[in-house]
Amino acid sequence: MSLHLDPNSSSSEQLLATSDFIDESTQICTFGDVPIAFLPPSAIIAISSLHNISEFIDKSYITHAWPANVKDIYARTVADRAPRLFALSALFNGSHLLHDLFMVRKLGDTSLPLDHDQRVSTPWDTNGMLGAFVREQRLVCAPLFTVGKFDLAAWFRSSLPFVEASRRDDMREGAEEDAYEVKFHPEHVRGLDTERTYVLREYAHEDLAAVAIRSSLFGFHCEGKYFLVAQGVAMGTGK
């Protein structure tokens, strides 16, 4: 999928097109009792192209009168330092929220995830939109995992990059609190055959997983819990 904003469209039309694209691109499933929603990297790249960023900047009453070379530098800097921040801010108020976050608050992708303490006084009254941004930022915060790594981290349970997930009590072993069958989005795990289904085991803390690590593919921390991913078993889990 691609998103190429029409230079002849209005700011509201561009926001609508971006919102529709995000709706179509968002990956959704349920993990236990938690609804999961995230944008894969390819969607974030499509939204945050230099062309689209430039269009939002050009339509903003804050920046439209800037000299062309200044707007170009601004757009290129945002594309380099804040594509995820831009992708989500575009959903709420386009370049107005972007200018507030990036220029006033001096934030970028390395600042994610944000919290409400980022609030400041601005002429554009975007504090309310910041609250919406914080609530929805999981969409652009799905982690990237690598097979063979066991010290990985994920910010939100609600943006773990699963396309399918089901709890399996009959697969629990030893010290884990829960066991699941999961399939991963192909853009979010390096070195994994994402056509297959895998066993995900959840532990109260990493020490309890010490033995299981030896037979696992990778592991990560998320919201105070530790998770291990292992090959599926014969009973319908990918073999």
* Local confidence band at 117 (pLDDT 50, 70, 90 cut-offs): low
Give yes or no for a contact between 15 and 90, defined as CB atoms under 8 angstroms apart.
yes
* Local confidence band at 99 (pLDDT 50, 70, 90 cut-offs): confident
More confident residue, 63 or 178: 178
The pLDDT score that the predictor gives to residue 14 is 87
Q: Which neighbouring-strand residues pair with 31?
A: 34
**DSSP code string of 64-82:** TTS-HHHHHHHHHHHHHH-
* Local confidence band at 132 (pLDDT 50, 70, 90 cut-offs): confident
At CA 140, angle to CA 135 and CA 141, rounded to 5? 85
The helix (H) or strand (E) run that includes residue 98 is helix 94-98
Give yes or no for a contact between 89 and 83, defined as CB atoms under 8 angstroms apart.
no
The whole-number average pLDDT for the span 139-159 is 97
The pLDDT tens digits of the residues spanning 24-48 come to 999 999 999 999 999 999 999 999 9
- Average pLDDT over all residues of the chain: 88
* Local confidence band at 67 (pLDDT 50, 70, 90 cut-offs): very high
The pLDDT score that the predictor gives to residue 119 is 55
The pLDDT tens digits of the residues spanning 158-206 come to 999 999 999 988 777 777 889 999 999 999 999 999 999 999 999 999 9
Whether pLDDT at 237 is above 50: no
Burial of 172 (0-12, 13-18, 19+ CB in 10 A): middle
In 3D, which of 168, 140, 176, 178 has the Cα closest to residue 156?
Answer: 140
The whole-number average pLDDT for the span 20-26 is 96
* Percent of the chain scoring above 70 in pLDDT: 90
In this structure, of 107-111, 163-167, 171-175, 210-214, the range with the lowest mean pLDDT score is 171-175
Prediction pTM value: 0.89
Domains of the chain: 11-26+39-140 (no CATH), 145-231 (3.30.200)
Give yes or no for a contact between 77 and 71, defined as CB atoms under 8 angstroms apart.
no
